[in-house]
Amino acid sequence: MNREDTRKAIKVMRAYVNGAEMEYKHPYGKKWVQLSRGGDLSWDWSSVKYRIKLQPREFWLFPVSNGELRVGRAHQHIDDFANVIKVREVIE
């Protein structure tokens, strides 16, 4: 394991210790699997990949007077909810 791999592993392990949701994938696996909480974990960095579970992005599209769509967040003031489009990223 080189220095960069070690930095990435430390980041993942710190997130795990702090309660973040984690995922793993075996070399032959096609999908990431959620790591179950509780119990002890045996890290196997040589044959298993680990990551902090990705969180989907959410944002809103607001129509403006010239017909364009502007990107915004939930905390922005919305005058016309009927024309707002909520977008949520799908992560697989």
The pLDDT, as a whole number, for residue 49 is 94
Can you read off the two tokens belonging to residue 24? Answer: 């793993």
Confidence at residue 66, expressed as pLDDT on a 0 to 100 scale: 78
Q: In the prediction, which pLDDT does 57 show? A: 84
Tell me the CA distances in angstroms from 83 to 59, 78, 79, 80, 88, one per residue in order.
Answer: 14, 10, 9, 6, 16
> What is the pTM for the complete model shown?
0.65
In the block, tokens 């944002």 appear at 59
Q: Where do the H-state alpha helices sit in the chain?
A: 3-17
pLDDT in tens, the chain (92 residues): 899 999 999 999 999 999 999 999 998 888 999 988 776 778 999 999 999 998 888 888 877 777 788 787 655 555 556 677 888 888 76
